[in-house]
C-alpha cells in the first residue's frame, strides 16, 4: 500500500516556480530522503504534502486521504517537524507536548502515556520541566521530533532533522529514525548525503523544482557515469598504452594527465557497471612497465547528487 502519492504537484509564488509537476509515490515502511541544493523546492514539496501550503495545481494523498478534500483525516496520519522547529518559547517542555498531544486528539490516560513515551524516546527526561526558551538547539530539535512522534503517526515528515546538531546528537537522531522505520514511513530532507546513504532506502533528488530521480541509492549509483571510472599510475611510454586501452570495447575515453614525478596518471572512462582493471593491468604488464596504483571508483550518492544537479 502506498502511504504517500503525489500527482503533478505544482507550486508557484508569483512568477517564481518553486515546484514543477512533481509526481512520486512512497510505500509503507520506506525511509525516503529528499535531496537537493538550497532552494531546490524540498521544503516547499514537504509543506505541500503536509497540507500547510496549498499546491497551485496537482494533488497528493496521505494514507489514502486527499490533502485538500480530507485535510483533517490526512493530518491525523501525519507527524511533521518543520524546518528550524518553531516552538512556543514561554511553555515548558511537557506543557508544550501535552498541548500538542491534545491538539492531535489524544485524550484521557493516553496523554500521559504518550508523553512519557516520546519524552523517553527522544531523551528529553532531564529537560522535561525546562522552559523551551532555555533549551539548546539540539534539545529544541528533539522537542520537535517528540512532537512529530506524538500519537504514533503512520507517516513522519522531518524537514532537516539533524540540522545544527553535533555529531553525537546526529548519531542519536539517526539511530532513532532507524528504529522508527519498523512501523513508520519516514520522509526526511537533508544536505548530509552520508546520512541518506546510511538510513534511507529510497532517495528523491530535486533540483530547480523538478524531480530528477526517485529510486533506491543502489540503483541510482549503479547507472552513474562515474561508475566505471578507473585510475591508473604507471611508468613508461604512455602512447601505446592509451591506444590499446581505447581499442578495448567498454572504454569510452582515456585521459592522460601530465606526469609530475615521472609517473603517468591515466583516467579511464568506461561504460557504467563494467570493470576494466584486469584488462588495463594486463596491457601495462605486457609492456613490462611498473605500475603502482590501480583503482576503480566506487560511486557514492555524492556523485549522483553532483551529476544530477550540476549546472554546467
Partner 1 sequence: MDSKTNTITRSTSYFATLRTIYNKELKGYLGVPFGWVILGCTMALQGFILQAVLQVMTHATGNGVMYHMLDNLNFWFYFIFIFPLITMRCLAEEERQGTLEGLLTAPVTTTQIILGKYFAAYTFYLLLWLPMLLYPLVSDIGNFYTELRYGIQPEGSITYMLADWVGPYAILALSGSFFVALGILCSAMTRSQIIAAILCTCLMIMYYFMGRVTELWGEFPAAPIFHYLSCTEQVKSFASGVIDTRPLILYTSLTVFTLALTKRVVDYRRWTR
Q: What is the distance between the alpha carbons of residues 312 and 305, in angstroms, rounded to a whole number?
A: 14
| Residue 174 CB, nearest approach to partner 1 (Å) | 22
Nearer to partner 1, 63 or 173 (CB): 63
- 290 phi and psi angles, rounded to 5 deg: -75, 145
Nearer to partner 1, 132 or 205 (CB): 132
Which residues bind to partner 1, rule: CB under 8 A?
13, 47, 50-54, 72-73, 75-76, 78, 80, 82, 84, 86-90, 99-100, 102-110, 113-114, 147, 151-152, 154, 183
Nearer to partner 1, 102 or 287 (CB): 102
Nearer to partner 1, 88 or 295 (CB): 88
| Residue 105 CB, nearest approach to partner 1 (Å) | 5
| Residue 12 CB, nearest approach to partner 1 (Å) | 10
Among residues 101, 187, 79, 89, the alpha carbon closest in space to that of 139 is found at 89
Nearer to partner 1, 104 or 229 (CB): 104
| Residue 128 CB, nearest approach to partner 1 (Å) | 18
C-alpha cell at 129: 520541566
Nearer to partner 1, 13 or 295 (CB): 13
| Residue 273 CB, nearest approach to partner 1 (Å) | 40
DSSP state of 209: T
Q: What is the distance between the alpha carbons of residues 276 and 145, in angstroms, rounded to a whole number?
A: 47
Q: How far is CA 204 from the centre of its chain?
A: 7
Nearer to partner 1, 136 or 152 (CB): 152
Which are the contacts of 13, defined by CB distance < 8 A and separation ≥ 6? none
| Residue 126 CB, nearest approach to partner 1 (Å) | 23
Among residues 307, 245, 251, the alpha carbon closest in space to that of 275 is found at 251
| Residue 256 CB, nearest approach to partner 1 (Å) | 54
| Residue 30 CB, nearest approach to partner 1 (Å) | 16
Q: What is the distance between the alpha carbons of residues 77 and 153, in angstroms, rounded to a whole number?
A: 5
Q: What is the distance between the alpha carbons of residues 289 and 36, in angstroms, rounded to a whole number?
A: 45
Place of cell 528523491: 204
Q: Are 254 and 272 in contact (CB under 8 A)?
A: no
C-alpha cell at 31: 525511509
**C-beta neighbour count of 286 within 10 angstroms:** 11
Among residues 185, 115, 121, the alpha carbon closest in space to that of 150 is found at 115
Nearer to partner 1, 147 or 303 (CB): 147
Amino acid at each position: 500500500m502506498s502511504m504517500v502519492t503525489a500527482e503533478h504537484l505544482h507550486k508557484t509564488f508569483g512568477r517564481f516556480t518553486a515546484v514543477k509537476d512533481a509526481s512520486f509515490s512512497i510505500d509503507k515502511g520506506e525511509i525516503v530522503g529528499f535531496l537537493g541544493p538550497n532552494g531546490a523546492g524540498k521544503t516547499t514539496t514537504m509543506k505541500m504534502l503536509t497540507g500547510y501550503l496549498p499546491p497551485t495545481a496537482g494533488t497528493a494523498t496521505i494514507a489514502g486521504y486527499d490533502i485538500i478534500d480530507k485535510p483533517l483525516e490526512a493530518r491525523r496520519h501525519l507527524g511533521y517537524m518543520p524546518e528550524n522547529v518553531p516552538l512556543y518559547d514561554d511553555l515548558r517542555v511537557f506543557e508544550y507536548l501535552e498541548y500538542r498531544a491534545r491538539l492531535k486528539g489524544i485524550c484521557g490516560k493516553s496523554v500521559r502515556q504518550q508523553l512519557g513515551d516520546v519524552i523517553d524516546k527522544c531523551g528529553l527526561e532531564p529537560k522535561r520541566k525546562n522552559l523551551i526558551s532555555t533549551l539548546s538547539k539540539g534539545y529544541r530539535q528533539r522537542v520537535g521530533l517528540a512532537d512529530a512522534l506524538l500519537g504514533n503517526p503512520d507517516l513522519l515528515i522531518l524537514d532537516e532533522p539533524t540540522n545544527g546538531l553535533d555529531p553525537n546528537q546526529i548519531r542519536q537522531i539517526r539511530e532513532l529514525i532507524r528504529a522508527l522505520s519498523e512501523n513508520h514511513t519516514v520522509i526526511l530532507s537533508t544536505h548530509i548525503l552520508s546520512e541518506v546513504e546510511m538510513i534511507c532506502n529510497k532517495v528523491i533528488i530535486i533540483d530547480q523544482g523538478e524531480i530528477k530521480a526517485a529510486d533506491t541509492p543502489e540503483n541510482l549509483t549503479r547507472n552513474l557515469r562515474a561508475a566505471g571510472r578507473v585510475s591508473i599510475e604507471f611508468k613508461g611510454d604512455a602512447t601505446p598504452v592509451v591506444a590499446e586501452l581505447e581499442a578495448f570495447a567498454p572504454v569510452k575515453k582515456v585521459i592522460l594527465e601530465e606526469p609530475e614525478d615521472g609517473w603517468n596518471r591515466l583516467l579511464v572512462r568506461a561504460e557504467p557497471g563494467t570493470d576494466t582493471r584486469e584488462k588495463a593491468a594486463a596491457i601495462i604488464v605486457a609492456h613490462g612497465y611498473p605500475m603502482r596504483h590501480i583503482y576503480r571508483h566506487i560511486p557514492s550518492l555524492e556523485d549522483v547528487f553532483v551529476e544530477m544537479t550540476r549546472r554546467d
